[in-house]
Amino acid sequence: MEIEVFQSDLDGSGLRIGVVQARFNQVICEALRDACLAELVDLGVDAEDVFVCTVPGSLEIPLVLQQLAASGEFDALIALGAVVRGETYHFEVVSNESAAGISRVALDFNVPVANAVLTTETDEQASARAAEKGAEAARVAVEMANLASSLSGLAGEDEDEDDYDDDEDEDEEEDEDEEDEEDEGESEEERRAPGRHGRGARH
């Protein structure tokens, strides 16, 4: 028995990608964006097929992702942002809520979303990670878009098999109905035949 294994597909040609970038911690977020866009082009995504939208901060990212996903125009989406720990609990709130919202969009709309919202202790840590994280988000988006497309093809094959089975069942039911009608016709003719139950035997 041969096991089918889906290989990583990083060919971005023909894909349409939506990018939502936060402006808070702007220098870091722009570094994320620049690296992400450069990698998308390197992977074969046409620049005209990339849509970029900016929002005030990371908490606003999920709403715009949701609207882009609902449009049905994108094969994958990318979230870019930077949350750096401060002296209050606000860091945990923003980090957790933005991550939860981003994941929910992917699951609710069945659209791959690459999460590249950095969460770090310092600005220096964020700056050091920005370029690689942005490029990684591009690779994730392209790979997951292609994987999702392949898996949807599998679902289509299952539907075709189900339709074939349904057609066979319908044909069998039609044959049975025709046989029942023939039996009923024969019974009616027998009832009308002379001599049945003694009728028609008199002179």
Strand order in the sheet with 76-84: 50-55, 17-22, 76-84, 113-120
In this structure, the dihedral spanned by the alpha carbons of residues 151, 153, 158 and 161, taken in order and rounded to 10 degrees, is -160
The 10 Å CB-count burial string (b at 16+, else e) for 66-77 is bebbeeeebbbb
CA nearest to 146, candidates 20, 62, 29, 45: 45
DSSP state of 15: -
Three-state DSSP class for 130? helix
Alpha helices in 72-198 (DSSP H): 90-109, 123-192
Helix (H) or strand (E) holding 37: helix 26-42
CA nearest to 45, candidates 147, 186, 142: 142
Q: Does residue 203 carry a catalytic annotation?
A: no
Three-state DSSP class for 44? coil
From the list 67, 90, 96, 161, the catalytic residue is 90
> Hey, which residues are catalytic here?
90
